[in-house]
Amino acid sequence: MDAQQFFTASRVAIVAGKGGVGKTTVSAALARAAALSGLSTLIVEVEGKSGLASMFGKAPLAYDQMVLSEAAEGAAEVTARTLTPDDALLEYLHDHGMSRLSKRLMSTGALDVVATAVPGIKDILVLGKVKQIERAAAAGAAGSPDYVVLDAPAAGHAIRFLQSARGLVDAVKVGPINTQASEVLELLTDPARCQVLLVALPEETPVNELVETAFSLEDKVGVSLGPVVVNGLYPEMGGLEADPEAAAEAVGTTLRPGEADDLAAAAQFRRDRSALQRHQLDRLAEQLPLPQLRLPYLFNADLGPADIDTLAAALLEGIDALPRMVPAGARDGGSA
Amino acid sequence: MTLADLAGTSEIIICCGSGGVGKTTTAAVLAMQAARTGRRAVVVTIDPARRLADALGLDGIGNTPKAIAGDWPGELSAVMLDTKSTFDAIVTTYAGSPEQAERILANRFYRNISGALSGTQEYMAMEKLYELQADDAFDVVVVDTPPTRHALDFIDASRRLTNFLDHRLYRVLTAPTRGVMKAVNKAAQAFIRAVSKVVGSDVFDDAVAFFGAFEGMEQGFRQRAERVLELLSDPRTAFVLVASPRRDTVQEAHFFAAKLGENDIPVRALIVNRMHPRFTDRLPEAHRERAATLAGTELGALYANLADFALVAAREEQHLEGLADQVAPAPVVRVPFLPTDVHDLDGLDAIAAHLF
């Protein structure tokens, strides 16, 4: 599939997955891939942590938008902003003529009490803000991004996060919160506006959890699932079956004492883990009929700008190999 | 004190750390080790993804302890925390009458918060911990914490609910039932109007009814919260920090250690899971150079692979620098990436071999 087509199929990508699978890394790589395809991209980060800025070689994010990578040589810019629920709530109250109330909420600590009175209100405010950004972009507002990547909170949390809209539409029948939740729900369930990319590691438990999350999201939220991103695959490497001594003899050289064992043990480890990873990829494909985008494990374990570019290139390669438009449903869609 | 000593003597072990670092598995291994030393151990997981069930090869563990058969002299049981039923149980415990309990359990606002109030999961984990440590059937309770950055909220979780019940807004909301409506000043009324405008009046009415129904129960909750806090700072309770050697998860581990420090709670051990094995003592560059010279040959591939692992091992040690100092004198235990995933008792055994 053409990358341009992929990134314009839905303007908002929600990147979700369990803790430790590399959601933020994938968000960064996805944003960079979109930017390399010429689309200006905004990453929205919601947990107020994340080494996102350092992945682009920048200082930590502030609430205000910041540029992570400048537009250059055909690549559009990547920007990011942190959007914590508290910030979103204050902004919401401000926009609705309740600035004074918001100050009191802060100073008395009543914010938590209010948020507690309506479970999911914080989530809906964050998603509402994303929706607002998306609407502005769709209307062609100046300075709007072409593509929005939301680095979602860690799942099971993510399910609750995305479910908040449906829950609130049921719980609060009237008023601005109901309106907000309904509009967010429209965004989440419209494949032309939003899709969820689930991230997994090629290991048994993460694969199980991803499959569970995928079905819950479809059933309970009705979101459209994009390709699954499998992170951390050891790059294929041939020649690892060889016996080190024999391989040395073949090229007329000798090994340091003990080195044959080191070489053999490292080769064995990679072969074993690669086999395990392949097995998990197959299992994932069997259980979840969604196309897969595969990202290599980076041995330098550093995650700087060069690494994000490597991962973005791998994503673009994967997108290019996608057979056709991403199916709208995990169950009835196929990867063939 | 070694990790084996901790498993052999602590009465409560709490595993904390960010998501995906192997907390659940670690908790299970620690509990298993306690059972090996003849103790009666129970492990509590609060992760809704049922990882512990995976790790133990068990289906259907629930909110009450279930024994796991094994060749140990002690006993091992597992509990999967069910937040809602635990909350229901404490409401029933502290209610002045069955009718009061009934009223709360049926309240729509209660039904919402009992599942979704931020920190409820953490709070209920502490309740479960309290219940199990008081149970004579167990010598040690091992707890796995929620996989969020807010996991350490469990330290203030019980305090938070009592603060919540104590909050001025709550007093305002419940004022009509306390007969001190006059005390509600104009500003508070404006506040209530504004909040109702945002959330809708039926939600607001539910909330008022909820707080009204809670009348008289705060004291019980507060006492319980204080006892839980005492328990957490007792020397018989050990906090074990679990991490992986990735740069981002190490940053999170620093955060967790600092947060515990703020509460005067020492980290008693640091367990670093998923370490890449260290196959060679030579520098990655040396192997990389050799691989370049031998490019295109089988030996070249073998060296390139060795260079990859030498590099990642060096980076992982770099990432961990500083963390060990931060938690000193706690022992640091490294667990290598295993050739296979852990999803049964044999897998837990393989990890135990590295821990003890």
Domains of chain A by start residue, with CATH:
3-235+289-331 (3.40.50.300)
Residue pointed to by tokens 């502290």: B94
Residue range A247-264: mean pLDDT, rounded: 95
pLDDT at B186: 59
Mean pLDDT across A240-257: 95
Q: How many CB pairs under 8 A join A and B?
A: 198
Tell me, what's the pLDDT at B183?
A: 47
Q: At A18, is the secondary structure helix, strand, or coil?
A: strand
Q: pLDDT value at position B248? A: 82
The whole-number pLDDT of residue A49 equals 64
Interface contact A269-B277, CB threshold 8 A: yes
Residue spans of alpha helices (H) in chain B: 3-9, 23-36, 51-55, 83-94, 98-106, 108-116, 120-133, 153-166, 168-178, 186-199, 201-214, 218-232, 247-262, 284-293, 298-320, 323-327, 345-355
Q: In what helix (H) or strand (E) does residue A116 lie, and over which residues does it extend?
A: helix A110-117
Selected residue with higher pLDDT from B186 and A57? A57
Nearest to A49 among B49, B54, B149 (CB): B149
Cβ-defined contact of A117 to B167 (cutoff 8 Å): no
In a domain, B165, yes or no: no
Structural domain contains residue B136: yes
Confidence of residue A105 (pLDDT cuts 50, 70, 90): low
Q: Provide the pLDDT confidence category of residue A331 given band limits of 50, 70 and 90.
A: very low
> Is B60 a domain residue?
yes
Confidence of residue B113 (pLDDT cuts 50, 70, 90): low
Report how far apart, in Å, the C-alpha atoms of B108 and of each of B105, B152, B205, B352 are. 8, 28, 10, 46
Give pLDDT, residue B154. 59
Instruction: Tell whether the model's pLDDT for residue B217 goes beyond 50.
Output: yes
Task: Suggest the residue from A263, A278, A302 to mutate for an interface test with chain B (most B CBs closer than 10 A).
Answer: A263
Structure tokens at A69: 């990578």
Average pLDDT, whole number, for chain A? 86
Q: Distance between CA A259 and CA B299 in Å, rounded?
A: 12
ipTM of the complex: 0.87
Contact B113 A116 (CB under 8 A): yes
Domain range for B60: 3-91+121-155+236-355
The pLDDT, as a whole number, for residue B179 is 44
Q: Quote the pLDDT of residue A329.
A: 47
**pLDDT, average across residues A274-278:** 93
pLDDT of residue B23: 87
The predicted structure's pLDDT at residue B178: 45
pLDDT digits (tens, 9 = 90+) for B295-337: 999 999 999 999 999 999 999 999 999 999 999 999 999 999 8
Query: B336 to chain A: nearest residue by CA?
Result: A269
Sheet holding B237-243, edge to edge: B66-67, B75-80, B40-45, B140-144, B12-16, B237-243, B267-275, B332-336
Percent of chain A with pLDDT over 90: 54
DSSP classification of residue A153: P
Q: pLDDT: is A144 or B60 the higher one?
A: A144
Does residue A334 have a pLDDT over 50? Answer: no
- Give domain status of residue B294, yes or no: yes
Which segment of A254-258, B112-116, B338-342 scores lowest on mean pLDDT?
B112-116
Q: Do B198 and A175 touch (CB under 8 A)?
A: yes
Query: Is the confidence at residue B272, as pLDDT, over 90?
Result: yes
Residue B208: both structure tokens together: 């008022």
Residue B205 lies in a domain: no
In angstroms, rounded to a whole number, what is the distance separating the alpha carbons of residues A292 and A48? 29
- Is A157 at the interface with chain B, CB within 8 A? yes
Q: Which residue of B lies nearest to A173 if distances are taken between CA atoms?
A: B200
Identify whether the C-beta of residue B316 lies closer than 8 Å to the C-beta of residue B245: yes
Return the minimum-mean-pLDDT range out of A13-22, A53-62, B176-185, B301-310: B176-185
Per DSSP, B152 falls in state: G
Residue A53 forms contact with B (CB below 8 Å): no
What's the farthest any 2 CA atoms get from each other in chain B?
89
Return the pLDDT at A205: 80
Q: B64 versus A76: which is more confidently predicted?
A: A76
Residue B81 lies in a domain: yes
Please tell me the distance from the alpha carbon of residue A118 to that of residue B207, in angstroms, as a whole number: 9
- Is there a contact between B301 and A237 if contact means CB atoms under 8 Å apart? yes
Of the pLDDT bands very low, low, confident and very high (cuts 50, 70, 90), residue A44 is very high
* Pairing mode of beta strands B140-144, A194-200: unpaired
Q: Is residue B82 very low, low, confident or very high in pLDDT (cuts 50, 70, 90)?
A: confident
Confidence of residue A116 (pLDDT cuts 50, 70, 90): low
Find the closest chain B residue to A266 by CA distance: B306
Cα gap A213→B51, rounded to integer Å: 14
Tell me which of A198, A205, A216 to substitute to probe the interface with B (most B C-beta atoms closer than 10 Å). Answer: A205
pLDDT tens track for B115-172: 655 566 777 888 888 899 999 999 999 998 876 555 566 566 556 666 666 655 566 6
State residue B110's pLDDT score.
79
Of A108, A240, A272, the CB nearest to B305: A240
Q: Mean pLDDT lowest for which of A14-18, A132-136, B55-59?
A: B55-59
- Whether residue B247 is contained in a domain is answered as yes
Percentage, residues of chain B above pLDDT 70: 75
Q: Which position has the higher pLDDT, A268 or B202? A: A268
Lowest mean pLDDT among A222-236, B53-67, B181-195: B181-195
Residue A279 at interface with chain B, using a CB cutoff of 8 Å: no
What is the count of structural domains for chain B?
A: 1
Q: Given a cut of 80, is residue A175 above it in pLDDT? A: no
pLDDT at B95: 85
Mean local confidence (pLDDT), B230-251: 90
Q: What is the CATH number of the domain that holds B329?
A: 3.40.50.300
Residue B305 lies in a domain: yes
Looking at every residue in chain B, the average pLDDT score rounds to 82
Lowest mean pLDDT among A110-119, A144-153, A181-190, A260-269: A110-119
**CA A104, CA A115: separation in Å to the nearest integer?**
14
Task: Work out the burial of residue B162: count CB atoms within 10 Å of its CB; fewer than 13 is exposed, 13-18 middle, 19 or more buried.
Answer: middle
